[in-house]
């Protein structure tokens, strides 16, 4: 192998790796497409009645993807319930979308009461969560959407409550 090849091959490889990571960093779904997918979604509530996410368009939405078998998901629900009460008059809506079916949601809803809507998303919930940035398939996963339908904050895992309050205060 020539001296030029020994230098050129690593340089090309490094360039390709850097280009790949730059592409991944800036290759995002356009905001309008994200908004369209978000507000096109509909999931059943505990009574199996379809709930369209469009009903909360124009509000700040805190969309929480969760499951009843997930301890961190259950842990953050009481805080979300308190924040829903605190910010409801400021046009903020919390919505929990379970990665389980209606039967599991119904059972959970009889055990745990929250003041915000809980919906059953099953596999479609995880598909929407992935589309909204959950490329790690982690639960809980929380997305804050502003009044214009733009994602302004996400959390993988349990939410930092002080950070969530700062975010909500800045949007209301």
Residues noted as catalytic: 70, 73
Q: Residue 79: which H helix or E strand, with range? A: helix 71-87
The two tokens of residue 128 are: 């929407």
The two tokens of residue 159 are: 């939410």
132/140 Cα distance (integer angstroms): 13
Q: Is 134 helix (H, G, I), strand (E, B) or coil?
A: coil
Contacts (Cβ under 8 Å, ≥6 apart) of 9: none
Residue (of 60, 132, 69) closest to 94 by Cα position = 60
Give me the sign of the Cα torsion angle 141, 99, 80, 33: positive
Q: Is 103 helix (H, G, I), strand (E, B) or coil?
A: helix
């Amino acid at each position: 192998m020539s001296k030029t090849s020994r230098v050129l091959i690593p340089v090309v490889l490094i360039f390709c790796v850097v280009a790949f990571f730059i592409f991944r960093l800036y290759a995002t779904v356009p905001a309008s497409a994200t908004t369209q997918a978000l507000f096109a979604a509909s999931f059943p509530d505990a009574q199996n009645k379809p709930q369209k996410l469009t009903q909360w368009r124009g509000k700040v939405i805190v969309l929480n993807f969760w499951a009843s078998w997930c301890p961190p998901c259950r842990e953050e629900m009481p805080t979300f319930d308190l924040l829903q009460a605190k910010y409801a008059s400021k046009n903020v809506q919390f919505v929990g979308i379970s990665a389980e079916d209606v039967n599991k949601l119904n059972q959970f809803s009889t055990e745990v009461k929250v003041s915000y809507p809980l919906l059953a998303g099953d596999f479609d919930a995880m598909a929407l969560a992935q589309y909204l940035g959950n490329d790690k398939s982690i639960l809980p996963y929380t997305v804050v959407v502003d009044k214009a339908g733009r994602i302004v904050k996400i959390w993988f895992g349990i939410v930092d409550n002080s950070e969530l309050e700062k975010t909500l205060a800045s949007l209301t």
